[in-house]
Structure 1
Amino acid sequence: MATSDKIERLRERLLVCPICRDEFKDPRLLPCHHTVCFECIGNIVRSSSNTGRLFRCPQCRTDVFVPRGGIDAFPISFYILSVQDELGSKGYSSSCDICEREWMQSQFKCVDCDLDICRFCIHEHRLCHHDSTRHAIIRIETAPNAVNMSSNRTCPKHADEILQIYCITCDVAVCITCSCEDHKLHDTVPMTKKLREAQKQLQTELDRLTLEKKDAITLMEGIQTSIEEIKTTSSKALMEVDKRSKHLQQNLERLTSIKKDLLQNEETKGLQELSSYSDELKSYFDQLDNGVHFLEELQEGDMCLELLDGFEKFQKTLCEQKQLLKSRSLTYKTISFENGQDYIFRDVMFLNFGSLVNKKKTLNSLGVEMKLSNNDNNDIDSETFTMKKLIGSIFMLVILTTLGQIFLAFVENPNNFDVIFISLLCLVYLFVASYFAYRKSSKPVTYKV
């Protein structure tokens, strides 16, 4: 008989309570020298006597009187406690919830899944059902009937036999019967030897996985560094974009201010000239009005030589003012704003803010003549010609560069002729449209009213 079986039998004879039929918990010694659990004594006293002072021993049926101190006064059975210490308390016994073999006692408890697991099924459960850093698996106790077993798998042909032999030729685990029948002439080894060799291989695999883990950690750190770098550079780029945008806005505001100042200065100058001319014309008009009223109120009895001399003097003065106004040619300017154009080619933006256009008008005694010109020597937008020339030069440079790129693309891959032809058509259209737009903006217009 195996030592473990003897211990189990001895445990059943000495350490089992006659009432609850379980291992003693807080054993108490009765006057008849039998031992009962403290909790079981309380239960039997409450069910056996109305006074709670008398009950019978469950083994020898002797009447037992409860001491004055109550059931707490029953002495502790130190003998039973000593035996329990020597043999050890009865372990937690439960079958495996995964393989469901009644004879295979569980040795592990998965707290997360609430499963009792044997030492054979625990490995797959750890690898496939849990994160290695978060699993909550505790060891219960080593099951005595499975300590020396190398596997709990049974043979598919012989259900009562466990796989104890490993066939190296077929690379498969077999039972003893199969090794004598189907694998008789094959190279076989005991399962324990195969497992020892596998343990060495697993140690090598552990070293390899450890290195791969370090490489993965290094890669993850590199990825995290790259993420931080992307965030940092993106944030910096956004700041630069905002800074550039503010700079462009400041330039546009400065250019707007210049245009407004030029417009206001020209407006003030034109208004001053017209106001001065208007004052002179009003003085002439007052003289005419005075002469008209004088002649209208003149009566027949008022005629005299002095009147004629005075009127002649008045006519001379009026003629001088008229001649002065007639000889004076007044030129003034009206100003309008023509919006510019902006083009974006790849990352380059061509911007023309716009120009102030002079519309010159000349007033004289013969009528009114209006002349419109976009290119006058005294134009307030004299820098417009330089800007147009610069933009034209840049545009021609872009056209030449694009033509060069199209030619290189055609040389490298003549099969892209359709794409190249369409690109040339678009380029020609853009060039012709730009030319006519430039000519239209530069052509003076003159008409009479």
Structure 2
Amino acid sequence: MHQFQQLQKILVQQLQSFSLDHGLFPTKNLTVTIDSLPLLPLLKGQTTAQPKNCCLLPTIYWQNKEQTTTLASFGAIETLEHIPKADNNALYLGGLAFQQQGEQWSDFPATLFIRPLLVFQHIQSSSLFNQTDNTSEQWQAVFHFNGTNSVEKSIHIIQALQPPQALSAFTQQQIKRHDSPNQTQWASLVELAIEYKALLPKVVLSRETELTFDGLLNTWDIMALWQQANPNSFHYVFQLSQEHSFISCSPERLYSRRQQQLTTEALAGTVNRGRDKREDNLLLQSLLNDKKIDRENYLVQEFIIANLKQLKAEVSFSPAHVLQLQHVQHLCVPITAQLTQQTKDSDLLYKLHPTPAVGGTPKLPALQFINDNEPYNRGWYAGAVGCISEQESDFSVAIRSALVSKNNIKLFAGAGIVTGSIAEQEWQELDNKIQTILTILGAR
């Protein structure tokens, strides 16, 4: 408590000094080097804040797949419903829904990007967020200014922050589960998708699993447990109101851009993890040698490469490898591209999202089939979520994700349906994909 109060005092003093040099409405950011700060406990500490502290919203947690950048942000100086073009030291956090058409979730529009007011960040030397010459890790508090928000507002948000609160084990008991579609409806959907094989070589069907518990859920505790179970993934939480939080522990990158150098991947094809090392290796080899899985992954590769070439990028790819998670393993083909100077993040997002790994191919007929036949609204599930700055952008495909509200959580999972798919096996794949979070929640 005392240490956090000292930090607040230092940051207020820094802001007051900054305003003497740059005025009450600065046009440049203030970056303050700080001691290490537990970011998830800090975010949890705000869950007990009074409604008067709504200036802290939106609150966002973001950690990239390599864990070189971890951010906790509070408030907003810009809220955009379009894809921004960042300049100078602007940073935007946000995402796109799975489909831009149709009604989206409450709080989560089709496109939303936020330039935060305050960001606490932990950055490694390999991250372009590190704007110093220091090669070691950095802890920083960054106050964003654009000439319209005051130093006084930044001081207010610092004073409104509550101290970090210890993370807790999950103790609530599940009282209800509802799957949409249910298993019978799923079998009918798979059969219908296969009937369309001439028009749809692949369509990704998905399921929403809604769990209700006997007590309130804490998003930050869940995120910490999920992060611990699957460390080699993107981890993020978007809490845009006191009603809902979108949370994800996604293994899949849509793309990462550094200057004009882009990296992406075709991540499609799934098998279980084995019960022991020998079985695990046999399953891994089956993933590499299965013709159905190879075809499924190739459709994703083909889509990504073709769309990057439409942007006049020079594209290359590497041999397939297997990405192993706690309960499943995926076939992954790394892809790199050299972009032209004219290519913008909006071009990349509109071209690459959604990929056949979450939608299907051809893209438009697959999206129409999903829109016509899935019995729930995907919203930001299978969307593109990430961050944009002038030098760097990084986007995750929002799979392994959930929507949390009060004592309720909705989990999402999908499976690629191609010729040869068997409904019962694909249903089991959906359960395998949410098994990690089901285990964390003690759910059935």
TM range, normalised to the smaller chain? under 0.3
Q: Structure 1-normalised TM-score?
A: 0.16
More helix as a share of residues: 1
State TM-score, norm by structure 2: 0.16
More strand by share: 2
